[in-house]
Amino acid sequence: MAQLFFKYGAMNSGKSIEIIKVAHNYEEQNKHVMIFTSALDDRYKSGFVSSRVGLQREATPIYEETNIFSVVSESSLRLSCVLVDEVQFVSKDHVLQMARIVDELDIPVMGFGLKNDFQNELFEGSKYMLLYADKIEEMKTICWFCEKKAIMALRVDEYNKPVREGSQIHIGGNDSYYPVCRKHHKQPPL
């Protein structure tokens, strides 16, 4: 029975590499997957899931007007799984479309993304994944500054100083964000 999965974690917890791994495991058994990613994340190249370790997979970009359910239901392939990277950037409608894929097409959907932003607020996509997912799993990593589990993102500017205000969405990697524990989110040793 298909389910909607939400796998979340702080920056550097291995979300994108996990998608690439899951896709490989299905395809090694001659099963088909469809991979999506937010069109907002263009750090490496739009329409690709890219891991910091250098692995990359082509993906269908999700724009505001994209109907994920329609794209999947119109596929000529017999899909075994749908994988979605950067799910924090999708809308409530996109999450509901993913739930329809599970409920109406009986295809499992695995969404991977951040739970909270640099101000420790939920992203829209993450909020609705938390509400609608059948299974929720945390992917763990450690704080940039200590050995505790990282549960937050610390945004920094070009001078490596903490940023506490601004737009919720600012695309970046280690140049803009550190995975941190609660203590170092409040008082980073920078």
Q: DSSP labels for 102-118? A: HHHH---EEEEE-SB-T
Location of structure tokens 């359910």: 69
Closest to 4 measured CA to CA, from 50, 65, 75, 68 = 68
Average pLDDT of the segment spanning 110-114? 97
pLDDT at 85 over 80: yes
The structure tokens listed for 116 are: 């909270």
Q: Which helix (H) or strand (E) holds 126?
A: helix 124-132
Which of 9, 57, 5 is closest to 33 using CA atoms?
57
Which domains, and CATH codes, for the chain? 4-140 (3.40.50.300)
Question: pTM value?
Answer: 0.92
pLDDT for the residue numbered 51: 79
Residues 55, 17: contact at Cβ < 8 Å?
A: yes
Q: Which residues contact 78 (CB under 8 A, 6 or more apart)?
A: 32
Q: Which residue has the higher pLDDT, 47 or 6?
A: 6
Question: Using one digit for the tens of pLDDT, what is the confidence trace for 122-132?
Answer: 999 999 999 99
Q: What is the pLDDT of residue 74?
A: 97
- What is the pLDDT averaged over residues 62-83? 97
Nearest to 82, CA basis, from 34, 30, 39, 134: 34
What pLDDT does 187 receive?
Answer: 95
The H-or-E segment that residue 48 falls in is: strand 48-50
Q: Tell me which residue of 176, 140, 172, 180 sits closest to 158, measured CA to CA.
A: 176
**Annotated catalytic residue, options 27, 58, 64, 86:** 86
For the question of residue 121 being annotated catalytic, the response is no
